[in-house]
Every structure is written in structure tokens, then in C-alpha cells.
Amino acid sequence: MGSRTRGGSGSRSRLLFFPFILLLHLLSLHCPSVVVSAAGSGEPYVGVTIGTQVTNLLSPSDLASFLRAQRITRVRLYDADPRLLSALAASGVRAIVGVPNDELLALGSSPATAASWVSRRVLPFAGVNSSTPNVISAIAVGDEVPTALPSALPVLLPAINSLAAALAAANLSSIPVSTPLPFSVVLDPFPPSQAFFNQSLAKSFVAPLLAHLANTSAPLMLNLYPYYSLMQSKGVIPLDNALFRPLPPSQEMVDPNTLLHYTNVLDAMLDAVRVAVRNLNATGGASVPILVTETGWPSYGDRRAEPYATRDNADAYNSNLIKHVLEDKPGTPMAPGAGAQSSAYIYELFNEDLRPGPVSEANWGLFYGNGTPVYLLHVSGADGFLGNDTTDRTFCVAADDADLKAVQAAMDWACGPGRADCTAIQPGQACYQPDDVRSHASFAFDAYYQSQGRAAGSCYFQGAGMVTTVDPSHDSCLFPGSKLLSNSTGSGSTNTSTPTSDAEGSAIWRLRTGRDKGFFLFLRLVLSIAVVIVVDSNFWT
């Protein structure tokens, strides 16, 4: 998929902080708003990015099934893999496709090469006729080029223009072309009212880029990471503010120049970009919508160097981000309202365990590469997005890679000393078929797991069990944790409805072979009860 960085991770000098005075107990006052619309038309949405530096990554068809099961309809890809796009075409998924940084020179120096790229990578998936579903929602040319590959910056705009021209020639000008920028192109961003673009880039690159985006109705793509803002603030920014959690009035962020209150760091970053755009005074720049092409939080990192990289914090950030965008839709203090709410892509779907660098680099995913959740988001009711991934609907099933004898022994314990109700897997009952050890054990494991209130460790079974967010119910067999039980007289009754969770392709839920499941269950328990001590100090002061 080519080289790529995230949040300026190649240099780690992605953002400088300049604290400003905290004004206490002031009422929020509205200054003249910067008029910037939400990215694209229609309602704001949340998508996910999909990297491929993953051990045992799902096949394209299994990945498409997984996205459908999780109700994910928007993804960002870092290349334009035709195999994956073909699989996504049948799943109703819309994808931002990427041009890797190492392809910029060829596309930027030759319009013919750009036209060929569009013909091979876009046309088959752009809905030009009834046999080619429209999968591609936008093209992201390069990724954080100013910091990741500054030598390619001279060819970035030509590449964007050549691809846009090729799309227009193919009657596909409705597909926007842009480039994801790092937040580090904005200097002095806190408070937002004093932000401006890096002067070495402002006139030569950012201004013509904004002009192109305005002329083609394309969004300004930005990778925004409150996690790095928190890390680099050295205690100035409270953790809760980075995680979208409410603060007491005495600790709220207030811009002293506008008197606008900021309840979270992401909105402050977005408004800093808006001010930088306004200050540049580029033609049409104020009308360009903003699209957050990456944001997220790592679930694990070096304990000393990255103390905030925990599962609890990752859960809080991503869960609250989804609620912020899909349910609250507040916009930002400078651009309030649902009409100005920026859509966002969570970085990322899978842990990319093959990525080099700090420990956290391999731990940004919502799921492991085989589809098992790294942690369980609290997103119930968020317009169905990640609808299966909630703490109210988890199940315990037999791990596919567990030894069959171990599975049998664990099932015997669950139905015996564990006192799980295993009636439904007896001959003639609803869950007797299929008549095999793993199927029966999955029911027994879930019966015990649910009877214990889904307590941590109750799905271990000496490594034979695994937690999943997919409802394993099938036909008339309803598992104890299924929400469909409320519509049934019992586990043995006939059920004509279809389970809302997509359980197809059970292999995609397999735990990674050789992973010490006991250790990670213990780690989850420890993290779930850990107390994060936040230093009670004012910030931006």
C-alpha cells in the first residue's frame, strides 16, 4: 500500500502548543462565525480507515462481510486495491481510495499517467453503468505529504489537478480529489483565534490547494489527533477534555479573543483550521468543507512514554467521537449546528501489528486483524454504526483454534459444576443442530457467560472460549445473550425472525493463533478497573 504516516508520526514534530489565558466563569459569547459547511452533502457520518500492515488480514470477501456485520458503510483505503473494491461493491460500502506517496511523482509529472490511473483504478468502481456499482466517494492523493515526504510536495498539486482533469474527462467530476494534511501545517493553533498556516506553505501550496477544492467542491482533508495534543501539552490539557468528557466551568477552555468555550480538543483543532483558512484569504477558501480523514486513540503503548494509551481511553475517545458526530452534531463554537458538523474517519479498523515505531503504532485498531474486538465501544443507538460492537451485546463462544479436547472438557464443566442451562443442546431441542462439539460448547459457554453477568474472565475456559460481538444465534436456536429472546417464549421455541447480527463466516472471528488469550483477558480486567489520575490544573494559561 505504499509508505504512509499517521499524525506526522514520521517526525513526531507535528504540533506546537502555545498556551493562552484561561478566563473563568464567563458566559459563552458568539463571535462572527467562519462559514464552513460540513464535508460533502447530507448528514455527517463516521467511517473507519483500513490499513493492511496486519498479520493474517481478512480476505477481501471476509472483510466485506465483516464491514456489513458491523454496519460500517464508509471506509478510507490507503490505495485503490481492485480486489477489495470489487468485494466492497456488493456490500454498499463507499470508500475514499488513496494514491500512495510513492506514486505521486508519476501522476504529477504525466497527465497521461493520471488518466491511465483513473481508467484502471476508478472507472470499474465508479458506477458509470449498471454493472459497476459506485464504490468510490473521493480520492485522497498522498498522505501528510508536507511532513511525510516533503520532496514530493512540488508534484502534489499537479497530481491532484491531473487526476481531477482525468475524472472530468470521464464524466466523473462528482468524485472529489483532495489530499490529507497533517495538523502541523497550522501554527500557533491554541487559542484557535490566533492560528495561521505555516508561511513556507501558505502561499505556494495551501492557497492554490484551497482554490482547487473550492472550484471542484472537494473537502479539505485533515488528520487530527487530540491524543498527540494531550501528549505534547505536558499536562496543560486535561485528559477529559481530549476524550470529549465534560469539565467543570472553572476548567473549560475559553478563547480569550472570542470568548468562545471549547468542550473538547477536536473542536478547538477544527476551529484553528477555520481561522487559518480565513487568515490566508484564499479565493473561495471559506466555503471549503472540512473532512477529518483520520482521528483516533491507541489502546496500548509504552507504559512510561505513552501513559494515556489505554483501552479505557481509546474506548472513551472513539465512543464519544461517534456520539459527537452522529447524535449530538453540534458543529464547533465558530461554526455551530449540524449543517457545519464535520464527518470523521476513525483510525483505524484493525491493529496494524506489522507497523514499526513506538509501541502504540501497532495498537490503534478497534479490532484485531481477524475481526475480534480489541475493546468494546459504547455506541448503542448511534445510527447503527458499529451496531454489533456494544457492551450490551457480547457473547462467549468456542475459539476456533482451541484444542477440541479442551473445548469438550470446558463444556462439561460449564454444564456441570458451572451450572449453565444446557437444555437447548440436548437431542431434539432447538440448539442440538449442528451436532458437533464446538457448536454445543459455544451455547454452553454463552449460557455460563451470561449467567455470570458477562463478568471479566467468565469466558476464558482455560483458553477455549472467546468473546465476540456477533450474535451466534441461528435458525430457531437463540443464544442466552441474544436480544431476540425477548420476542420468544424460550430457547426451544420457534423463531421466524432473522438475527440482526451477521454471523456468517465464523472464521473471521478466530483469535490469532499463538496469542496468549489468558494474558489479554487479565490485561482487560486490569485496565477496566484502573484509575486515571488527572492533574487538576488550569490550561491554556
Contact 177, 167 (CB under 8 A): yes
Contact 192, 541 (CB under 8 A): no
d(CA 65, CA 87): 9
Which of 255, 284, 285, 293 shows the shortest CA–CA distance to 272? 255
Compute CA 96 distance to the chain's CA centroid, rounded to the nearest angstrom.
Answer: 14
State the catalytic residue, choosing from 103, 144, 252, 361: 144
d(CA 443, CA 431): 8
- Give the 3-state secondary structure of 465-534: EEEECCCCCECCECCCCCHHHHHCCCCCCCCCCCCCCCCCCHHHHCCCCCCCHHHHHHHHHHHHHCCCCC
Angle at 324 between CA 20 and CA 532, to 5 degrees: 65
Q: Give kind and range of the element (H or E) at residue 314.
A: helix 311-323
220: how many CB neighbours lie within 10 A of its CB?
25
**DSSP letter assigned to residue 286:** G
The grid cell for 62 is 471476509
State the catalytic residue, choosing from 103, 252, 294, 361: 294
The grid cell for 313 is 481511553
State yes or no: is 352 an active-site residue: no
Q: Give residue for cell 455551530.
A: 336
For β-strands 253-254 and 261-262, DSSP reports them as antiparallel
The grid cell for 122 is 476508478
d(CA 324, CA 341): 9
Nearest 5°: phi and psi at 296? 170, -165
d(CA 448, CA 443): 9
Nearest 5°: phi and psi at 467? -85, 140
Q: Give residue for cell 431434539.
A: 428
- CA distances (Å), 493 to each of 365, 422, 424, 483, 503, in order? 39, 15, 10, 15, 20
Which parts of 251-343 are beta strand (E)? 253-254, 261-262, 290-295
Q: How far apart are the first and last CA of the chain?
A: 43
State yes or no: is 252 an active-site residue: no
In sequence order, the 6+-apart residues with CB closer than 8 A to the CB of 498 are none
d(CA 456, CA 451): 12
d(CA 71, CA 502): 10
The grid cell for 105 is 511523482
Angle at 378 between CA 377 and CA 383, to 5 degrees: 100
- Indicate which residues carry an active-site annotation: 144, 294
